[in-house]
Amino acid sequence: MSGFWRRRSTPVRDFVVSRLVSGIVSLILITALIFVGTALLPGDAASALLGQNATPAAIEALRRDFGLDQPLVQRYFLWLLSALHGDFGTSLASGRPVAEVLLPRLANSLILAAAGALFLLPIAIGGGILAAIWQDRWFDRLLGFTSMLFLAMPAFLVGYILIYVFAVRLGLFPPMSVAPFYRGAAAWVPILVLPVVSLVVIGQAHTMKLTRTAILAVLASDYILMAEIKGIPRSRIILRHALPNALSPILSITILTVAYLIIDVVVIEIVFSYPGLGKLMVDSVAYRDLTVVQACGLLFAAIFVTMNFLADFLALLANPRQRVPARGAS
């Protein structure tokens, strides 16, 4: 059997199998940490839901109804088994199925992340390419300075600065994303502008620096030096020779940027009161709605692990040398 597997083995297949296994193990560990973390939150979920005037009997009955009286390990495996079948349980706060609570908020978060990526990726990748073309010139130095500045700024600070300038002082946009989305694009656009700008400001610095580094690494290759000796313009060398060979790391950077956008969305949603998944998760912690918190944590972890897998997989496909079996492999 082992000989058969070695004969059938390819770099792509080995990569997919190993990453799927590591991804599943990572998700199990993350879900265990989330479940234990929510169980260790101060206070009792049943007491928080029923209020201070609830009797001990009523609290105990509610704990029994939601399975909170069971051992933690047993509760975790029952929850994990149900989650694998798409059942995340019932919200302790609203009594509705958790999936019904999550889906509208997840859609809002994906819209915000997609809008952020739509503007962030062209700006950041294009800026990184231009910085590589004009290495050590004023444009490159300016981008380096602004990148260091924005990397040092917390996400919530960027959001509050934008609110103060463009909402409080200038009055151009609403400070909070509270407009009903069902009214269409006319209601969506104003409430998305400041959150999207925040995501672009937060994410562009890191992505731009990584893109610049990837381009410059390719420019250090021998064939690039030979092209420079022949007198080919630097911009043409980068666009026609360096950029195609830097496609693999740039693909990884792009996917990882989207993955980190999903994480940044949590902070931005809180700052702007945006009705997304991150805001729901934070509010559920305050209300001790443990089933919703656990489901939100699982979704964020699954998205992040999946995006990391896609980044590495696309980088593998973009690099033909990594898809060729090593010599001597049977």
> CATH no. for residue 107?
1.10.3720.10
Answer yes or no: is 68 within a domain: yes
Say what the pLDDT of residue 65 is: 66
How far is residue 282's CA from residue 286's CA, in Å, rounded to a whole number? 7
Identify whether residues 114 and 248 lie together within a single domain: yes
Identify whether residues 256 and 114 lie together within a single domain: yes
Identify whether residues 115 and 196 lie together within a single domain: yes
Identify whether residues 157 and 248 lie together within a single domain: yes
- Give the range among 40-44, 196-200, 236-240 with minimum mean pLDDT: 40-44
How far is residue 268's CA from residue 310's CA, in Å, rounded to a whole number? 25
Largest distance between two CA atoms of the chain: 86
Give the range of the structural domain holding residue 74, as residue numbers without chain letter. Answer: 11-84
How far is residue 88's CA from residue 69's CA, in Å, rounded to a whole number? 18
Residue 327 has pLDDT above 70, yes or no: no
Answer yes or no: is 329 within a domain: no
Q: In this predicted model, what pLDDT tens digit does every residue of 121-134 receive, in sequence order?
A: 888 888 888 888 78
Range 316-323, long-range pairs (CB < 8 A, 24+ positions):
316/11, 316/12, 316/15, 316/248, 317/12, 318/247, 318/248, 318/251, 319/248, 322/11, 323/10, 323/11, 323/12
Residue 140 has pLDDT above 60, yes or no: yes
Q: In this predicted model, what pLDDT tens digit does every residue of 52-67 receive, in sequence order?
A: 666 667 666 766 766 6
CA distances from 146 to 152, 201, 209 (A): 10, 10, 11
Identify whether residues 201 and 306 lie together within a single domain: yes
* Overall number of domains in the chain: 2
Decide: 158 and 198 in contact? Cβ < 8 Å.
yes
Say what the pLDDT of residue 184 is: 58
What's the pTM value of the predicted model, to 2 decimals?
0.77
Answer yes or no: is 171 within a domain: yes
Q: What is the mean pLDDT of residues 58-83?
A: 73
Decide: 274 and 177 in contact? Cβ < 8 Å.
yes
Residue 5 has pLDDT above 50, yes or no: no
User: Which range, 1-5, 11-15, 316-320, is most confident?
Assistant: 11-15
Answer yes or no: is 4 within a domain: no
CA distances from 206 to 127, 162, 248 (A): 11, 20, 17
